[in-house]
Each structure stands twice: as structure tokens, then as C-alpha cells.
Chains A and B, each alone.
Chain A
Amino acid sequence: MAGKIFALVVLLITLATAYCVIAHVWWMPVDISVHGPKIDHQIEETVLVAGLLFIAGQLVLAAFAFLYGHGGNRIKQIPGGAKPLIIFAFVLVGTEVVALSSIGAKAWGAVYFEAPDPASLKIDVQAGQFAYYFRYPGPDGKFGALHPDLINEGNQNYFGIDADHDADAKDDIVTAELAIPVDKPILLSLHSKDVGHSFYVRELRVQQDFVPGLNIPIHFTATHTGRFEIVCTQLCGLGHYNMKAYLSVLSQSDFEDWLKKQAAAQ
């Protein structure tokens, strides 16, 4: 009797789980990036293949528990022997993993192994406990040098820019919000002021860790306007839970207005 109840419970959990995934009860947020569809497609294929094997496995488990579980007939020996069964399992799962990896490599390559567009808008991103700050190069297109000893947050010099002495730094624009024009290639350069952080915008399908000491480039193109959250997804201290900034995807003209306003407030 216990075997039959167990089988029923397994069956119910399997069906409920499968329903939640198939009906997209909790599914991915809207995709707003050019490379997003490739990543979403990879996720869906993985879920499909693994899901089918999951359902098959659970059904076989339920069947065996029903037929041969406590209170039913006993199996005296695994039909065909244990060795062929184990080899079969290895081959099945192994093939699935290799297949998913090869197909997934294409999605990975499309995001990480493609060079950024040379005409990308370059933005410098600094993560520090517990806020993000962004720097635009200004009309000269060049970023001024960073001097960590000049960082003075009380005076809002978050990057340690020497605007008085560095010609390139004079027109740098520092903001607390990341605004970008829609449908234009963006190249971010990520660096950390202190410990490890991460840059994650789920709608952009972009997630990249900040590694102290490195300048890590990531690039993307946003396809929809709107306001999205950038959240830190690498535990960085007691304020990590609250560490975020906002990504504002604007039309080209709105973006230019915004940048002008920010430059005036420097």
C-alpha cells in the first residue's frame, strides 16, 4: 500500500511541476536585448530536454514503486543485469549533456566571443559598497585617468577624477543612473572600487561579475525603451541586499537631453 501511495505522490509532483513550466507560470521577464533570443532559446531547449528526461524518469520511478514497492511483488533480479543498465544510463545522460553543451556554446559564443561594434557608446561602470556609478566620456570621447587617492565621496568625486589637472577628465560626466539610447551598441567597462560585485539586468540577459583589479568589458544593444533594475548578484557585504541602480533605455533625443542635463550638473 505504501508503494502505491508513494507512486501517486511522485506522479502528482511530476505533473504539477511540468504544468508550472509548460504553462510559464513563473517565466522569464520580457527580453529587451539583441542577443536575448539566443539565450532564451538555449534556456528553453535545456528545460525541454531535461524536462522530458525528468518526466520519463519520474514516471518509471512511480511505475516501479507501484508494481514492486512495499506490499507488491518483489523483483528478484534486474532484467538484463545491472551492468547494461548502468552503461545505458551513462550513455543517455552523457549524450544529453554533450548535446546541450555544443548547442549552448553557440549562444555563449554569440554573446562573449563577438567583438563589440567599434562605434559603441563607451560607458565606464564602477561598483563599490553599496552603489554603482557611471561615467560618460563627454564630447572629447576620452575618459580621464582614475586616481583612487582622490576619491572623495563627500564631494561626490566617486571615481577619483582630477578634473583640474587632467585635460581628458574635464568633460567626463559622472551619474548615478545608467541611461543608454535604444537600438545602439553599448560597451561597458566594469571595475570595482573595493570587493567583488556583479552587474545583472535580467531583461537585458546580461550578468557579469566585477573582479577587483580588472576592467571587464561587456557589450549589448537594447531593443526596448523603459526603466530596468541593475542589481548586485555577488555578495559584497551587509548592504548587498540593497545594492542596485537603474538602467534607463531612452530614445536617442531623450538620451541626448538627459546627458546634457547631467553634464550641466557636474
Chain B
Amino acid sequence: MKMQFRIMALTLCVLALAVVFLRFTPAGAAATGQIVGTVKLDGQAPHQKPIDMSKDPACAQVRNGSIASQESVVVGANGGLANTVVYISQGLTGNEAAIQSQAASIDQKGCQYIPHVVAMNVGQHLTVLNSDKTAHNIHPQPNPTGGNAQWNKSQLAGSGPIDVSWANEEIAIPVKCNIHPWMRAYIAVIKGPFGMSNDTGSFKLDNVPPGTYTLTAWQETYGTQTQKVTVGTGKPSTTDFTFKAK
């Protein structure tokens, strides 16, 4: 009889703890919503000129003869505009999901930055790799008044990765290579949830707490556009952007 009481008491304690635990969960585990949409280009994209990399034969080695083109406007099938960063510019309360623990990464391969645009959170780590058989010198050029420091770092062929992070929001930091003038990338450092359009133009923002926000889409050539969006916990909210080709 005493044994049964003990077991029942233990079970009740565990159940009580479970209830307590579940009631007082941190904000991040609360139900969140999503924003999905498409970014399109209305009109003809400007010609993306091919890049002549003959000044560094080691670039051609890795590329096996394939020709790279500049990537200032990348348009996929059905007019989808790629590499557009979509983020929340107004309405964040600071209770959003914590910084992504996984590091973002950017690679120097075939004497190009891959990917061309990196979107990441303030404080998140960025790993910079050099997969080429030649030296690179990555040089981010943040806004001088924005709080992020300007720096450049050499990576010889075969050298290890560089690990960096950014303390201030900036959309977006232009990146150049001091050795190969045609190399260009952008790093968008964002507070809160973000998404980036792929080559069909589709983007998705995850872990958006319910509320009303101003959503901004940034593209390196066409600049920014904003739209208001209301997010709930049910179906994802949809917002589309269309940039006009000049």
C-alpha cells in the first residue's frame, strides 16, 4: 500500500513539473508564422557581361574553361529576380528567434564569390573560405558611419577559413577582392528573420512572430521596396515584389 502511494506521488510530481515547464516556455518556442512570396523583374534585365579572368591563369584552372558573368541582375525563368534579400525593417519587438547558431559561409571559387549575396544575422558567424589555387584578399567595405569596421584579409592558396561576425545591421555591405577587380559580393547583416529569393524569385521568412510589419526587399541594382504584411500562426502570409528594369 505504501509503495503504491509513493508511485502515485512521484507520478503527480512529474506531471506537475511538466505542466509548469510547458506553461513557462521561452518566447522562441511560441507559435510563429511564415512569410512567403516572389520577387519579379518587370522588363529586360541588363546584359550580364562575361568576365575575362586571363590575368590570373590559376582562376581558369579551377574553372576548367567555363566563363563567368557578372551577377548584378540575375533573372530566372518567368522573370524571377534572384539574390533579393527580404527582411523586416519595422515592427520587430526584440523577442524574435535567437541568432542562427549555424555559421553562414562564403567561398572564393573559380575567382568568384559563391554565393554572390549572403544574408545573415547581426552577431552570427561568417566563415570565409578560399577554394582556389590562387591568393585572394577579401575586402568588405561597410558604410563608414554604420558601425561595422572596414577590413581586408589575405588568404593564400590552401590557407584555412576566416571567421568573422558583424555587430551592426547593414543591408548590404559590398565586398571586393583586392587582387581580382571583377569579384563582387554583398553581405546583408540583418536583425530578425530574413529570406533571399532564389532563381525562381521565391523567398521565405521563417520564425516570424505574429504581428504587423514593414517588409523590405533589397536588390543590389534596383534598390529597395517596402510593403506592409500581417503575420498569423496559420497559413503563411504572402507578399510579392516587382522591380522595374530601367
Please list the residues of chain A having a beta carbon within 8 angstroms of any beta carbon in chain B.
Answer: 128-132, 153-156, 158, 175-177, 237-239, 242-246, 265-266
Contacts and interface: CB of A to CB of B under 8 A. Distances in A.
A153 B49 contact: no
A132 to B, nearest CB: 7
Interface string B218-236: 0010000000000000000
Q: Which 5 A-B pairs have the closest CB atoms?
A: A154-B184, A176-B52, A239-B179, A153-B181, A131-B181
B72 interface: yes
A107 B52 CA distance: 37
Contacts, number: 55
Interface residues of B, number: 23
A158 B137 CA distance: 19
B55 A245 contact: yes
B179 A242 contact: yes
A219 to B, nearest CB: 24
A154 B174 contact: yes
A226 to B, nearest CB: 15
A266 B70 CA distance: 12
B154 interface: yes
A132 B179 CA distance: 12
Contacts of B50: 265
A158 B70 CA distance: 13
Nearest to A237: B178
A210 to B, nearest CB: 16
A134 to B, nearest CB: 10
Interface of B: 49-56, 70, 72, 134-135, 137, 154, 174, 176, 178-182, 184, 220
Nearest to A177: B54
Contacts of B53: 176
A125 to B, nearest CB: 13
A154 B72 contact: yes
A156 B69 CA distance: 10
Given A175-B52, A176-B52, A238-B154, A156 B180 contact: no
Contact of B55 (A131, A155, A237): A131
B49 A156 contact: yes
B137 A239 contact: yes
Contacts of B176: 153-154
Q: Most A CB atoms within 10 A — which of B52, B53, B174?
A: B52
A192 B54 CA distance: 20
B54 A156 contact: no
19 contacts: A130-B181, A132-B55, A153-B176, A153-B182, A154-B72, A154-B220, A156-B70, A176-B53, A176-B54, A176-B55, A177-B52, A177-B54, A237-B178, A239-B137, A239-B178, A242-B179, A243-B55, A245-B54, A245-B55
A244 B56 CA distance: 8
